[in-house]
Amino acid sequence: MSADRILLTNDDGVDAAGLRALYEALADEYAVTVVAPADDQSSVGRRLSEDVAVDDHELGYVVDGTPVDCVVAGLDELVTDADAVIAGCNEGANLGAYTLGRSGTVSAAVEAAFFGVPAVATSMYVPGGDDWWKREFEPKDFAHAVRATRFLLDEAADAGVFDRADYLNVNAPIADADRAPLRVTTPSTWYGMRAEQNGDGRVGFSDPIWGRMNEGNVPDPVGTDRRAVVDGEVSVSPLSVPHAAEPNAGLDELVDAYEAAIRS
C-alpha cells in the first residue's frame, strides 16, 4: 500500500488488548500513531463531543471522548499526514447491516471516509454466553484479525479497492484454529431485535442472533458477513459512506403536490 503513516483507534479504550495486538503487528513497517479513547466507548456510533481532553500516551494520544472524536481530532489536528485509519481490533463482532451504525469501531472508519482517508474497521467474533465479554484476551487470540488487517493494509490500495470502496469492515473469528480464509461479503440484512417489558416500567432489549451463532444456526447465506464468521472465515465487506441519495425515489411528484397544497 502506498501509505506510510497510520492512525490507529478503537472503541474499547486505549489499553485494550486488540488495539495493542494491531499496533505491534503494524508498527514494524508503518509509522503508527494511536489516537484512542481513554475508556470503553462501545456502541456509541458516530457520537461527536463538543470538545475533548487530549493527553500524550506512549503510543500516541489518549482522548477523553468517542472514536469519532479520535478520528476528527487525529486527522484534522494530531496526525494530519495519516494515509489510512485502522479501527480495532474490537473485542466482539460487528456483523449485519443493522449493527454498523451503532458500532464505534465502524463509525471511526466511516468518519475517516468522509475525510477521504482509506479505512479498515476490524473486529473479532468471540463465541460464548452472555458473559463472553468478561474474557481476558491474549495477543494470540487476535491472530486471524491481525493477519487479515495487515494483508489488506499492504495490498488493498494498490489493487484499486479504495477507488471503489470507502472503507472495509473486517470480522474475524477468534484464533482457535490455525487457518481462517478470507471471504468478500456483504452485511447480512437479517434483523431480529426484540423488546420486552419487564414489569417495572422498563423495556429490555435482546438480539437472538448471538445465541444462534453459537449453535451455528444462522439465517444467512454464503456471501454474507455473519455466515463467513460462523464458517470460520474472515469476512471483509467493502462499503461506502452512508446516506447516499436516491434520485428516483418518486418524490418529484410529491413536491408538486405539496406546492399545490400550500397554495390552496
What tens digit of pLDDT does each residue of 184-230 get? 999 999 999 999 998 888 999 998 888 888 888 899 999 999 999 99
Which ranges of the chain have pLDDT less than 50? 1
Confidence (pLDDT) at 261: 92
CB 60 within 8 A of CB 50: no
Residue 177: the pLDDT is: 75
Determine whether 182 is exposed, middle or buried from the number of CB atoms within 10 Å of its CB (0-12, 13-18, 19+).
middle
d(CA 94, CA 102): 9
Q: What is the per-residue pLDDT for 242?
A: 82
Q: Is 69 annotated as a binding residue?
A: no
> How many other C-beta atoms can be found within 10 angstroms of the C-beta atom of residue 237?
25
Hey, what's the cell of 23?
499496533
| Residue 90 counted as an annotated binding residue | yes
Q: Are residues 68 and 48 in contact, defined by beta-carbon separation less than 8 angstroms?
A: yes
Classify each residue of 20-50 as buried b or exposed e, where b means 16 or more C-beta atoms within 10 Å of its C-beta: bbbbebbeeebebbbbbbbebbbebbbeeee
pLDDT score, position 1: 46
107: annotated binding-site residue? Answer: no
Nearest one of 77, 11, 9 to 43, comparing CA atoms: 11
Closest CA to 76 of 113, 115, 45: 115
Asked if residue 11 belongs to a known ligand binding site, the reply is yes
Residues in the chain: 264
Backbone angles phi, psi at 172, to 5 degrees: -120, 145
Which pTM was predicted?
0.93
Pairwise CA distance, residues 74 & 6, whole Å: 10
